[in-house]
Amino acid sequence: MILSTTDVLQGVAVTSYLGIVTAEVVYGSNALRDFFAGIRDMIGGRTGSYERVFEQGQREAIAELEKRAARLGADAVVGIEINTGTINIDESGVLLLITATGTAVKL
């Protein structure tokens, strides 16, 4: 399956548009990771533990997007966009949200 952030694939004709596909990945926060991120926030620098979480989440969201497109009979997903955000659950915690959206197409 071809996965692309572009709307057009060079040298390939889209024969039909199968619809928008989305995938969501939600991670709970981790007290130890939050503690070290808080220290890093005070002293400056990158927070590697959260970078790895977002990297893994993006891979999982794209894999899920591909699976959902395949169920529609797609050969490709074009116009892929990945977004990240948070969901506040209470005063003490948040969930990390990663979404991938694209258009499933038949080539």
User: What residue segments make up the domains of the chain, in order of their start?
Assistant: 2-106
The domain made up of 2-106 has a fold known as Translation Initiation Factor IF3 (3.30.110)
Predicted local confidence at residue 21, as pLDDT: 98
Predicted local confidence at residue 95, as pLDDT: 81
Predicted local confidence at residue 27, as pLDDT: 81
CA-CA distance, 101 to 16, in Å (whole number)? 18
Distance set, CA 31 to CA 14, 70, 83, 94 (Å): 47, 37, 24, 11
CA-CA distance, 9 to 12, in Å (whole number)? 6
Tens-level pLDDT at each residue, the chain (107 residues): 999 999 999 999 999 999 999 999 988 765 444 544 555 555 555 566 667 888 899 999 999 999 999 999 999 999 999 998 888 777 767 788 999 999 999 99
Predicted local confidence at residue 36, as pLDDT: 47
Burial of 25 (0-12, 13-18, 19+ CB in 10 A): buried
Predicted local confidence at residue 32, as pLDDT: 46
Model-level pTM?
0.77
Residue 57 contacts residue 98 (beta carbons within 8 Å):
yes
Predicted local confidence at residue 79, as pLDDT: 98
Nearest CA-CA partner of 105 in 6, 29, 28: 6
Stated as kind and residue range, the H or E segment containing 36 is helix 31-43
